[in-house]
């Protein structure tokens, strides 16, 4: 059996706090975060709910960690999403039946 390669230590996860997230984000993404933050605050004032703010902080916490692991990954994700939309959906998608068959095949190979 092959010896597993150890994974690099995970990056320090920033707190789900606007100030901590801004500090953890690359400069190029701070403007986008700021704009989304202002919109979320405005909607929270109208709805009297913090749910959207929590969702936004969660999204940007994941984005910050993603960027800490691999710089530029957020932009690549957006570009891939735009390509999928332009193509009219996932052209490489696999049906659930095909995926189950592939899993079953791999399980039987072990």
Q: What is the pLDDT of residues 18-72, one digit of tens each?
A: 999 999 999 989 999 999 999 999 999 999 999 999 999 999 999 999 999 899 9
% of the chain exceeding 70 in pLDDT: 93
pLDDT at 13 over 80: yes
pLDDT at 14 over 70: yes
Asked whether the beta carbons of 57 and 21 are under 8 A apart, the reply is: yes
CA dihedral 47, 53, 56, 60 (to 10 degrees): 160
**What is d(CA 62, CA 94) in angstroms, rounded to the nearest whole number?**
26
pLDDT at 1 over 60: no
pTM above 0.85, yes or no: no
**What is d(CA 74, CA 30) in angstroms, rounded to the nearest whole number?**
12
């Amino acid at each position: 059996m092959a010896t597993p390669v150890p994974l690099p230590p995970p990056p320090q996860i920033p707190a789900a706090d606007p100030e901590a997230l801004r500090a953890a984000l690359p400069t190029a993404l701070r403007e986008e975060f700021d704009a989304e933050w202002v919109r979320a605050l405005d909607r929270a004032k109208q709805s009297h709910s913090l749910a959207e703010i929590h969702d936004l902080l969660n999204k940007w916490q994941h984005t910050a960690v993603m960027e800490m692991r691999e710089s530029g990954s957020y932009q690549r994700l957006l570009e891939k999403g735009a390509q999928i939309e332009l193509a009219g959906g996932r052209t490489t998608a696999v049906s659930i039946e095909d995926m189950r068959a592939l899993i079953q095949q791999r399980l039987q190979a072990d």
